[in-house]
Amino acid sequence: MTRGKSRLEELRERWERNRQRGYVRGHIINIPSDMADMRYRGLERPQGLRAIDFVQELERLALEWGDPRFADAVRALRELGIVNERGGFSRNRGPHATSLEASAMDYAITRVYDLINERNISEREACAMIAADLGWGATRTTSFESAIDHLRQASGQARRRGKGTARPTRVGTPGGR
């Protein structure tokens, strides 16, 4: 711990850095072995990306390089309904999209339980550490404190439902709530 800074201030700074770098939940998904060579930079579509430009560029690359994989990508976008008839992105989500957030939360809760048991720390401190490590937060306007509270609520709900691989041992102790 740096002199003059509280542990919470240090975690808040780490949380800010990780949110800016885009660390949020990106490493939670199991990547199929035939796609492991790709570089995944995030789970959300880049802001400002227009479907019509994306499709046009893939079509141009198919012709320029004579590689049918670019044309296959365009066909897949249309067949799966990712790009609609007018050339825009549809609101359709893939079959794994709805489970990503749940998987992320399960992962975070498991990490919280692990920290509580391994380091014998409070639930709040464990949630703060995981929120900082993952850059956790629903929106850009989410504060560090609300990210911690969100994770604590989810952790408590999982504990009450009996989910998770480990049980927190210090929940409810001084400083833990």
Give per-residue pLDDT as tens, 38-62. Answer: 766 556 677 789 999 999 999 999 9
Q: pLDDT-derived band of residue 81, with 50, 70 and 90 as boundaries?
A: very high
Give per-residue pLDDT as tens, 101-111. Answer: 566 778 788 88
Among candidates 31, 32, 14, which has minimal Cα distance to 23?
14
What pLDDT, on a 0 to 100 scale, did the predictor assign at position 55? 95
Whole-angstrom Cα distance, residue 47 to residue 140?
14
Q: What is the mean pLDDT of residues 12-41?
A: 64
Whole-angstrom Cα distance, residue 173 to residue 3?
27
Question: What are the boundaries of each domain within the chain?
Answer: 7-29+96-161, 33-79
What pLDDT, on a 0 to 100 scale, did the predictor assign at position 161? 78
